[in-house]
Structure 1
Amino acid sequence: MKQIQVKKSMKIVIVGTRGIPDLYRGFEKGAQYIALGLAERGHEVTVYNSHNHSYQRADWCGIKLIHVYDPEYKLGALGNFIYDYNCFKDLKNRKCDLVIQFGASSSFWSWLMPENTLLISNISSTEWKRSRHGIIRSRFLRLAEKFAVRYSDSLVSDSTIVNYYLNKRYQKRAKYIAQGVDVVFTNANEELLTIEDVKPFEYNLYIGSLEEDGVAEVILDGVVASGMENIFLVIGNYSSKFGSYLSEKYQPFAHIKFLGSVYEADRLDNLRYFSNLYFHGSGHDGSVHLLLEAMASNCLITAYDNDANRSILTSDSFYFQDLEAVAQQLISVEAKMNHHVQRIDRNMAKLRETYNWSNVVDQYVAHFDELIAGRNF
């Protein structure tokens, strides 16, 4: 892409991810597009990568990559803690203008920050509240969140719910910068539906968390209560205790199919595009990217009814909070391509005008310029 001119080049380091280029995780995908956008605007960008990341070169699209030892594959959550330490240990002796920290878990090591460097923490979810974490890890993540709030020069979030939470709990406002989506899907291919043995617009779809603190069970209870036997596809990791419970609970209902995790972008986009009704969860788990990708794939969306989802979808979605609403929508919503094209088109317009990476990166740059101008060192 053509390089965008900037007033002054900044040295920017990104920590808190497993690395780029991202292969399948939404969290890293956001970091990747922000890093790309910053590099395209002439800034010097460095990203820390796990030593066993599949991409082993020291440079990617003009972004410097530093691989450090990551023992997660041996130690699990403890390995994440050590990996974050290794990143900050290396970072300590490097000169940079600012550090972007994705997530709060690495904030324990913020005391290793280089001198005269700004720390910006991107917090997209209240991770410590999620049921998948045990008591010890939950307390650790809660403490890490406090460290991030205390030691960051600025907090950034793509969630209005998280912004409200941070302001209420810590009396500290976060800068709201939405996520973006990279491309609007145009490569429709019905042949990819043969893998799941479904027909275009004759099935409904949920992609997201299958954890106890999510809304998957409410949705699937609504599917059963509706009495409708259209195929309902569920995409998400169900290897956890609660995920296994869900797959067993709905096993008697042959039209509910658990596909597990799906990482192939083309397959996912086509499953979204050809679905009749797409269900989106609460957004508490940092899943905004899933909502934007659904909008980009021409989905007719029904979303859990909260302020975060309404702030993006406005009136261009159906909403639910209980199984009765889910059941009613499955019964009453007619074929999307015949009756709901305007809703879909208006959501597409939002992506072009607001939720695109070019606009998102411009907001980050403007925010960084303000922080640099106002620093006291």
Structure 2
Amino acid sequence: MHPLGRSPAGDRLAIPGCGHSAVGQGPGGALAGRGGPLIPLASHAPDALVPEAPRTALRIALLGARGIPASYGGFETFAEQLATRLAARGHEVTVYAECGDQPVADTVYQGVRVRSRRRPRWGAASVLAYDSACLWDARRGYDLVYMLGYGAAWACWWPRVFGVPVWINVDGLEWARSKWGWGARTYLRCMEWVASKVATRLIADAEAIALRFRQTYPGGAPSSFIAYGAELVQADQADPSLLAAWGLQAHRYMLVVARPEPENHILEIVQGHVLHGGDWPLVVVGDVSGGTAYQQQLKALASDRVRFVGGIYDAAQLNSLRVHAACYLHGHSVGGTNPSLLEALACGNWVVAHDNPYNREVARDAAEYFSTPQQLAQSLDRVVMEGTALQPQRARRARDIVAKHYTWEGITDAYEALMRAQCQPRTPARATTP
């Protein structure tokens, strides 16, 4: 039985048949005391009989992504991986997708219905309008609505009014991101509170985030931890010839894959690389073509040793860059299990990550950690001096963490078990005396 999480008040659900996965696993191992099984069946009277729930198909809607197949973003990858696997297990899964002004008929992708809804051109508010339209469309006809993100949490009432449970994936501390102005931050902080009130259940992909919601909103919806996933990439699966496009040599460059935002600490990473002073270039994958002050500051530091190569969305190219890097530098700090960090571990990277609870929860002892450019420079010195000798051991440890805690099949096992517990509650039947 898996520790999938619990509400602050300790309400529990029985989770039958849930196999090994990352659910409820933090940096300290299995969470016997960090979420616990939900309503252990043994807690019923000894003469209670618990019949096996019928394994019927669930009707599940996933909202909040741009659509599938994924071409951009963590939510899109998550929606594709989870939806297609649930569909392969016999469930009726719908993923909502964006479209332009012209209506688009429903399509099917690997057994998943893709239902398109218009996203208006209203700037930042267009996402809220799109999410709200999807929630209105999904207000009935499903056993469960799963909303990715809480920006339109107020509209999650609509399915609830029609008796449909709504889960909300809280996606870290969205309101804390530096890209938002004062008004947007205030709105998102308010929506975080609304999500805690309107959701049937909150889902966090990091135990530290789930714990924060339990502590911040003790009377709110129950919070469960189910991790994000990644696919293992072995060295022989990544083509080193692709490096020629950027003039790179295998294992003689450092890599960053991140959006150019202050909370991702790219500036500090560049400063640490400069202090390190080595010859191996720093390669930054991320779109810096915008006009923000932070992006301008980063571009001013570009040189032969600090190379901004733009956004790369081709999986083969990214895998080649990751697998053949001397190390992967990870500066993300605003909560949650970051997909880029998981993908670096899955590629066997020597990881040097910003020191915060979220990164430590994921990378554990497979990473070094830094808080200042000076600390990062010291780690880079070690990479250059000891990389050849230690890389095989570090690669094995990184991939072991993903294989044990973060496989997509394991994540799907956990979601399916919790979804069945939500939608098909098992009622104990009293034993009859002959």
Q: Indicate whether 1:361 and 2:391 are aligned.
A: no
Quote how far apart the aligned CAs of 1:56 are. Answer: 6.9
Give the distance between the partners of 1:112 and 1:184, measured in 2 at CA. Answer: 42
2:348 is matched by which residue type in structure 1?
Answer: N
Alpha-carbon distance in structure 1 between the residues aligned to 2:113 and 2:375: 49
User: What whole-Å deviation, never above 9, does each CA across 1:274-321 have from its counterpart, x for those lacking one?
Assistant: 110111123426561111111121211111122222222222211111
CA distance in 1, matches of 2:207, 2:163: 30
Structure 1: 5+ residue stretches without partners:
1-5
Contact 2:176 2:334 in 1 (8 A): no
- Greater displacement, 300-309 / 271-280: 300-309
SS at match of 2:97: strand
Give the alignment's TM-score, normalised by structure 1: 0.91
**How much has 1:60 moved relative to structure 2?**
0.8
Residue 200 of structure 1 corresponds to 250
Residue in structure 2 matched with residue 113 of structure 1 by the alignment: 159
Cα separation, 1, equivalents of 2:259 and 2:212: 21
Task: Report whether the alignment pairs 1:169 with 2:216.
Answer: yes
Q: Are residues 1:129 and 2:176 paired?
A: yes
SS state at 2:211 partner: helix
Alignment partner of 1:247 out of 298, 301, 307: 298
Q: Assess if the C-alpha contact under 8 Å between 2:205 and 2:226 holds in 1.
A: yes
SS of 2:365's equivalent?
Answer: coil
> Secondary structure at the residue paired with 1:206?
strand
**Structure 1 residue aligned with 2:76:** 28
Q: Report the Cα offset of residue 201 of structure 1.
A: 0.6
Structure 1 counterpart of 2:318, one-letter code: L
Relative to structure 1, is the Cα distance of residues 202 and 219 closer, same or farther in structure 2, using a 3 angstrom cutoff? same
Count of matched residue positions in the alignment of Structure 1 and Structure 2: 367
Deviation at 1:188, TM superposition (A): 2.1
2:87 to 30, 39, 43: 39
Residue matched to 1:281: 331
Asked if 2 retains the 8 angstrom alpha-carbon contact of 1:208 and 1:287, the reply is: no
For residue 244 of structure 1, report the CA deviation from its aligned partner. Answer: 2.1
After superposition, the Cα gap between the structure-2 partners of 1:44 and 1:124, relative to the gap in structure 1 and judged at 3 Å, is same
- SS where residue 208 of structure 2 aligns? helix
Q: Hey, what's the Cα distance between the residues in 2 that align with 1:129 and 1:105?
A: 13
Match of 1:68 in 2: 117
- Identical columns (%): 28
Higher relative contact order (CA 8 A, sep 6+): 2
Q: Does 1:140 align with 2:187?
A: yes
* Matched residue, 2:320: 270
More helix by share: 1
Paired residue type of 2:61 = V
Deviations 1:48-87 (A, max 9, x none): 111249x97611111111111111xx22211112112211
Mapped to 2, the partners of 1:256 and 1:285 lie a distance apart of 27
Letter in 1 for 2:272: G
| Shift, 1:168, TM fit | 2.5
Distance 2:82 2:256 in 1: 27
Q: Distance in 2 between matches of 1:372 and 1:298?
A: 38
Q: How do residues 44-55 of structure 1 correspond to structure 2 at under 5 angstroms? A: 44-52=92-100
Alignment partner of 2:268 out of 218, 221, 235 = 218
Matches within 5 A, 1:248-327: 248-251=299-302, 253-284=303-334, 286=336, 288-327=338-377
TM-score normalized with structure 2 length: 0.79
Higher mean displacement: 213-222 or 163-172: 163-172
Q: Distance in 2 between matches of 1:56 and 1:329?
A: 53
SS in structure 2 at match of 1:105 = coil
Pairwise CA RMSD: 2.3
Unaligned ranges ≥5, structure 2? 1-53, 428-434
Structure 1 or 2, whichever has the larger Rg, is: 2
In 1, Cα distance between equivalents of 2:119 and 2:319: 32
